[in-house]
Chains A and B, each alone.
Chain A
Amino acid sequence: MKCSKCKGRASIELRRHHVAYCKPDYLEFFDNQVERAIHKQRMFKPDDRIMVGVSGGKDSLTLWDFLLRMEYDVTALHIHLGIGEYSNHSHSTTVKFAEERGAPLITVDLAEQYGMGVPELSQAIRRVPCSGCGLSKRYILNKEAYDRDFTVVAMGHNLDDEAATLMGNVLHWEMGALARQSPSLPTNREKLIKRVKPLYTVTEREVAANAILRGIEYVEEECPNSVGARSIMYKNALDQIETQSPGTKHAFFSIFLDRIRPVMEAAQEDFELRECDICGQATTGAVCAFCRMWENAHRKATENPQRVQQGKDAQEPSVEKLPVQP
């Protein structure tokens, strides 16, 4: 197969675009796709201070690498989730990436800062690990960005992530979630930092190709808690369709964004936000969901310490952290 641009040997075929590219032309195409998405959704400007959430996987490292190469003012935040060897490997991979590029990195250790890692939290609140994990990551990213005067939070969600989330929201008619699902959520609320997803137009396979061709060393293993996750089920279903009908995932999400979401957003009732009585972050009730969850977890751990092995006892030897950026 030949490169659609230079006619040299192609490295990757993109059936949904009816093109194939050699390595240099693909990397240029990928950068253009991401830059275009940033501009189309007015995600950020050169003078914005960006905090990028980095897990150590291909998506977040690709985004961080892109933002550094384009010379945006970017700092990464990594959350050590306390999920055994998986979290240790994710952390060491992220630190290595930062050190090789001299890039600023902040690490928050969930067990150290909040008393439990994800496994112990899950045991305490008797919910699937992804539930507490997702809420914790969203909250901590926003809080750290707000406390450190960042203007934008950037996440590595790709087209497959967004299409799978949309599919789940549609199948369960989650009206509130549908109205909020966007690659760029600007905020006019104090303490809620603007949240953007610059990779939302590129597929997971395209992101992986970019990472491999650029030599980005990322964590290939899956989070042990993601086995059987609904998101993977939806991705598999969408990719079955995509194989027969290339471009379906993009159409599904982009038409939703252009035609459906604006209607749903307009129909949403406005709601009052106030400060959480415990942490001061923005919430609709007296206490935010994050503080409620952690209060519940610590209460359960105190009532029944045998059931919940406290994170600080369970965690691996303490990980070394890079200096926290001012």
Chain B
Amino acid sequence: MKVIIRNPRRRELEVEGSRRVDALIKELDLNPEQVLVIRDDDLLTRDVMIRNDDTVEIVSAISGGTQ
């Protein structure tokens, strides 16, 4: 599958094989409380299976600095 990590620094990864959203997040060493996984403009819950030919995007929700 193609994984596009949108921020904080945009990068693209190729991950071999199908797996659930929670497994992908764990594999990428991300905190599930801090990210959202998007496929076809919709958000995916942790139990959704991502197929090998899918493209998903991962958005980090965390921002810092002064507000």
**From DSSP, what is the main secondary structure of chain B's interface residues?**
loop
B65 within 8 A of A: yes
Which partner residue on chain B sits nearest A220 by CB separation? B7
Chain A contact residue count (CB 8 A cutoff)? 43
Q: Does the CB pair A207–B31 fall under 8 Å? A: no
CB proximity of B55 to chain A, nearest CB, Å: 16
Q: Which residues of B contact A155 (CB under 8 A)?
A: 67
Q: Does the CB pair B65–A130 fall under 8 Å? A: yes
A134 within 8 A of B: yes
Q: Which residues of B contact A291 (CB under 8 A)?
A: none
- Per-residue 0/1 for A226-255: is the Cβ within 8 Å of any B Cβ (1 yes, 0 no)? 100101100110011011000000000000
Q: Does the CB pair B38–A133 fall under 8 Å? A: no
Instruction: Compute how far the CA of A225 lies from the CA of B67 in the bound complex, rounded to whole angstroms.
Output: 12
- Per-residue 0/1 for B5-28: is the Cβ within 8 Å of any A Cβ (1 yes, 0 no)? 011100000000000000000000
Q: Does the CB pair B46–A13 fall under 8 Å? A: yes
Identify which of A20, A133, A235 contacts B66 (C-beta below 8 A): A133
- Per-residue 0/1 for A10-41: is the Cβ within 8 Å of any B Cβ (1 yes, 0 no)? 11110000001001000000000000000000
Known interface pairs A209-B36, A243-B33; A11-B42 also in contact (CB < 8 Å): yes
CB proximity of A58 to chain B, nearest CB, Å: 8
Q: Which residues of B contact A156 (CB under 8 A)?
A: 67
CB proximity of B2 to chain A, nearest CB, Å: 18
A269 within 8 A of B: no
Interchain residue pairs with CB less than 8 A apart (27): A10-B45, A23-B42, A23-B43, A58-B63, A59-B63, A130-B65, A204-B34, A205-B33, A205-B35, A205-B61, A208-B36, A208-B59, A212-B36, A212-B38, A212-B43, A221-B7, A222-B7, A222-B8, A222-B65, A223-B64, A226-B63, A232-B63, A232-B64, A236-B34, A239-B34, A240-B31, A243-B33
Chain B residues close to A by CB (< 8 Å): 6-8, 31-36, 38, 42-48, 59, 61-67
Chain A residues close to B by CB (< 8 Å): 1, 10-13, 20, 23, 55, 57-59, 130, 133-134, 137, 155-157, 160-161, 203-205, 207-209, 212-213, 220-223, 225-226, 229, 231-232, 235-236, 239-240, 242-243
